[in-house]
């Protein structure tokens, strides 16, 4: 097995101006595994627009759901609809959580 080529370890400095030893240790471990430690901090215009449209889509979708609920059931329908949905989701989650925990606890 060939040894990976030597990669220069950079001295990372955090915002306060002091070095971070954990970052250097993780970079050394990455180099031992043959990976180049890099973290890209630039975002293209396409990525920024994608994130923006995702955030706007959530807001418009939730407002449409509230409008439909208000027109069909009124404030009382929204209140009980959300409470019934949340309690049903919690009970279903608790059942599946307990089944996963019980099966995992039986494994060595």
Model's pTM, two decimal places? 0.35
Angle at the Cα of 106 (from 101 to 108), degrees rounded to 5? 115
Question: Is residue 12 within 8 Å of residue 19, measured between CB atoms?
Answer: yes
Each residue's pLDDT tens digit, 14-67: 444 445 556 688 888 888 888 888 877 788 999 999 999 988 888 788 788 788
Domain limits, the chain: 1-39, 43-80
């Amino acid at each position: 097995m060939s040894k990976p080529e030597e990669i220069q370890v950079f001295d990372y400095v955090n915002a306060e101006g002091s070095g971070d030893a954990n970052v250097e240790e993780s970079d050394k471990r990455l180099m031992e595994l043959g990976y180049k430690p890099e973290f890209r901090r630039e975002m293209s215009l396409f990525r920024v627009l994608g994130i923006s449209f995702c955030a706007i889509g959530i807001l418009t979708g939730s407002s449409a759901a509230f409008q439909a609920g208000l027109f069909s059931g009124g404030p009382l329908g929204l209140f009980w609809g959300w409470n019934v949905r949340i309690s049903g989701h919690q009970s279903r989650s608790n059942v599946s959580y307990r089944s996963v925990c019980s099966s995992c606890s039986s494994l060595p």
